[in-house]
Amino acid sequence: MENKVIILSAPSGCGKTTILKALMARQLPLEFSVSATSRQKRDGETDGRDYYFFTPEQFMEKVDAGEFLEWNEVYAGQYYGTLLSEVDRIAGNGHHVIFDVDVKGGLSIKERFGDRALAVFVMPPSIEVLRQRLLSRGTETPESVEKRLQRADYEISFSKQFDYVLVNDDLETAISEAYNLVNGFLIQ
């Protein structure tokens, strides 16, 4: 089997993680690509499960050593990237890969994998709803919420370059739409 890749991209707070966890719970033959980041760990996050957490210096050493498939400074001073070793690990397990990455990372992975990749952009119903979701998640300071909202418009401007735009309004509807899309792509 040649493995396929699913890319979920969206501004922070649109519901990627929620949708991804729901997909993983539905027994699709997918393995989550754990990204590396230099941001602070949130309460409830585990190193090696949610992210590989590095200091900015450690992260840049890996960039210099050519260890990333892609990486980006998503927010000022906060780096995120996909380690080549992570993609190799998942392919070695014989699984398809699912990525949760920003738009730039998503489009660069799509370019790399071509027809083997399904790139899905998760869209919020509106910026105001996105603000409410970021606030209610309770993980961000007010400054961090604003930083994420400012970047949201920029990220949405890339949405047309994705294979599919999934509006996350009603969660159950979005999850079943995502499931049908991903399952259809994997079995074709």
Q: Maximum Cα–Cα distance for the chain, whole Å?
A: 46
Q: Report the distance separating Cα 158 and Cα 31, nearest Å.
A: 26
Q: Which is nearer to ligand 5GP, 27 or 141 (CB)?
A: 141
Q: Per CB under 6 A, does 171 bind ligand ADP?
A: yes
Our finding on whether 10 is near ligand ADP (CB under 6 A) is yes
What does 90 interact with, of ligand 5GP, ligand ADP, none (CB < 5 to 8 A by kind)?
none
C-beta atoms surrounding 184 within 10 Å: 10
Picked from ligand 5GP, ligand ADP, none, the partner binding residue 31 (CB below 5 to 8 A depending on kind) is: none
Gyration radius (Cα) of the chain, Å: 16
CB of 95 or CB of 187, closer to ligand 5GP: 95
Per partner kind, with CB cut-offs from 5 to 8 A, the member of ligand 5GP, ligand ADP, none near residue 63 is none
Please choose, from the candidates 122, 123, 149, 124, the residue with its C-alpha nearest in 3D space to the C-alpha of residue 135: 149
Residue 46 per-residue DSSP state: -
Closest CA to 136 of 9, 7, 18, 50: 18
- Is 137 an interacting residue with respect to ligand ADP (CB under 6 A)? yes
Nearer to ligand 5GP, 80 or 162 (CB): 80
| Structure-block tokens of residue 134 | 């970021």
Partner interacting with residue 105 (select from ligand 5GP, ligand ADP, none; CB below 5-8 Å by kind): ligand 5GP
